[in-house]
Amino acid sequence: MTSSTSNFELLRLDGVTRRFGPADQPAALSELDLTIERGEFIALLGPSGCGKSTALNCLAGLLPLTAGSIWQDDRRIDTLPPEKRGFGMVFQNYALFPHLTVRDNIAFGLRMRNLPKADVQRRTTEAIDMVQLADHASKLPGQLSGGQQQRVAIARATVLEPSLVLMDEPLSNLDAKLRLEMRTEIRRLHQSLGLTTVYVTHDQEEALSMADRLVVMRQGKVQQIGTPEQVHTKPATWHVADFMGYRNLLPLKASQLHGDQVTVDLGGTAIRGAAQGAVAQDDDVIAAVRPEDVKIADQGVKGLVEVVEYQGRERAVEVVVDGETRLHLRTEQRVEPGEQVALAVTPGRLLVYPA
Ligand SMILES: Nc1ncnc2c1ncn2[C@@H]1O[C@H](COP(=O)(O)OP(=O)(O)OP(=O)(O)O)[C@@H](O)[C@H]1O
């Protein structure tokens, strides 16, 4: 094995920063600290423009760092060109060789390594099957759909079993059904080949279902690093909560404190939530709760149903409390616009952030 593909125990990003403009402007990526263990599946998650691709390109060696360093164990690698890093890459527009068939595109890297012919054939066939392209193996990239081309790129990158695989929204061109299948396939491949993967997506569901740890970013900065469960149930800031599906973000006041519990007043009804960060009495706060944790009840916060959207088994309902605060909830109950309802929040599910 050459040194470029040697494996590692830890990959460490230390204060990785990348600017595209002058130093008085916010950086595209600001002081990213992250340690990745061998075998981990890491998702970089966040809204458009938050710096995910910039982070991945810095890792890949496609963008020089403005500041900081990247280490593979005790070897500094941010000064190496991309090809010396030996990483597998699947990017949105990662060009295939147009004059080579699907099979030859996938086999290319293996052949370059002078592996025995039978090995090349076996591994290539496995990779083609994995991305479900057996029927297209003899076609040229130009004869494939965008999604099929992307699958060739995934197979081509992973067939080499690189020490690190970098993927930037690799499923973005696929239809919904195939996207779900490929999620599982990529995760399976990651596991069975013992890969280490860094995966960029703006799709929280994709990140939650695939990754061991999520790095949630906003405006070039890390907001939270944690397991899917940590990020999903205990978002570090209300921005992360917003991104993780806490659609109800209510600007309220903290009326009482009891340890780490906070009482807020919503439409004349006191509700208890768990303080996330430093909250003092009478502080302005943001109370966050998911639509699925707000229920129509016999008593509770009074509101007026304004919008009802049919969504199969459930309905998405928008209720106005006190004539101004909008609450989103999901219910199997039949309700109509104009109806008065009472709402209850599932105990323990209201999170209260400093505003
Ligand atoms: N080559 C460039 N020149 C100037 N600004 C850039 C360049 N590349 C990215 N940026 C800026 O850096 C910021 C982060 O961009 P980046 O592509 O990393 O975001 P992202 O989270 O990957 O977004 P998306 O999901 O839309 O791809 C954005 O404000 C973007 O406009």
Q: Ligand 1 test: best mutation among 16, 18, 52, most atoms within 8 Å of CB?
A: 52
CATH class label, 3-238:
alpha beta
pLDDT given for residue 6 in this prediction: 58
Go through 47-75 and write b for each residue having 16 or more CB atoms within 10 A of its CB, e for each that does not. eeebbbbbbbbbbbbebebbebebbbeee
pLDDT given for residue 94 in this prediction: 60
DSSP state of 26: P
β-sheet bridge partners, residue 307: 318
In this prediction the ipTM stands at: 0.96
What is the enclosing helix (H) or strand (E) of 121? helix 117-130
**Which residue owns the Cα nearest ligand 1 atom 2?**
20
Tens of pLDDT along 113-125?
889 999 999 999 9
* Cα 52 to middle of ligand 1, angstroms: 8
CB 298 within 8 A of CB 343: no
Ligand 1 atom nearest to CA at 63: 1
What is the enclosing helix (H) or strand (E) of 153? helix 146-158
Q: Is the CB of 303 under 6 A from ligand 1?
A: no
* Cα 105 to middle of ligand 1, angstroms: 29
Q: Is the CB of 54 under 6 A from ligand 1?
A: yes
Residue ranges of the chain assigned to CATH 3.40.50.300: 3-238
CB 17 within 8 A of CB 171: no
pLDDT at 137 over 80: yes
Cβ neighbors of 247 (< 8 A, separation 6 or more) are 290, 291, 328
pLDDT at 91 over 90: no
pLDDT at 200 over 90: yes
> pLDDT grade, residue 17 (50/70/90)?
very high
Tens of pLDDT along 208-267?
999 999 999 999 999 999 999 999 999 999 999 999 999 999 999 999 999 899 999 998
Residue ranges of the chain assigned to CATH 2.40.50.140: 246-354
**Which residue owns the Cα nearest ligand 1 atom 14?**
51
**Measured between alpha carbons, how far is residue 39 from residues 171, 177, 193 in Å?**
21, 27, 9
Cβ neighbors of 192 (< 8 A, separation 6 or more) are none
Pick 246-354's CATH classification: 3.40.50.300, 3.40.190.10, 3.40.50.920, 2.40.50.140. 2.40.50.140
Which tokens sit at 349? 């599910």
**Sequence-ordered strand ranges (E) for 80-212:** 88-90, 165-168, 197-201
* Cα 245 to middle of ligand 1, angstroms: 24
CB 330 within 8 A of CB 316: yes
Tens of pLDDT along 33-79?
999 999 999 999 999 999 999 999 999 999 999 999 999 999 999 99
* Cα 150 to middle of ligand 1, angstroms: 21
> pLDDT grade, residue 173 (50/70/90)?
confident
**Which residue owns the Cα nearest ligand 1 atom 19?**
49
State the average pLDDT over residues 277-284: 93
How large a percentage of the chain has pLDDT more than 90?
75
Q: How far apart are CA 262 and CA 351, in angstroms?
A: 9
Q: Ligand 1 test: best mutation among 20, 32, 216, most atoms within 8 Å of CB?
A: 20
Cβ neighbors of 184 (< 8 A, separation 6 or more) are none
The angle formed by the CA atoms of residues 88, 94 and 97, to the nearest 5 degrees, is 95
Q: Is the CB of 50 under 6 A from ligand 1?
A: yes
Ligand 1 atom nearest to CA at 220: 14
pLDDT at 146 over 80: no
Among candidate residues 177, 172, 122, 121, the one with its CA nearest the CA of residue 151:
172
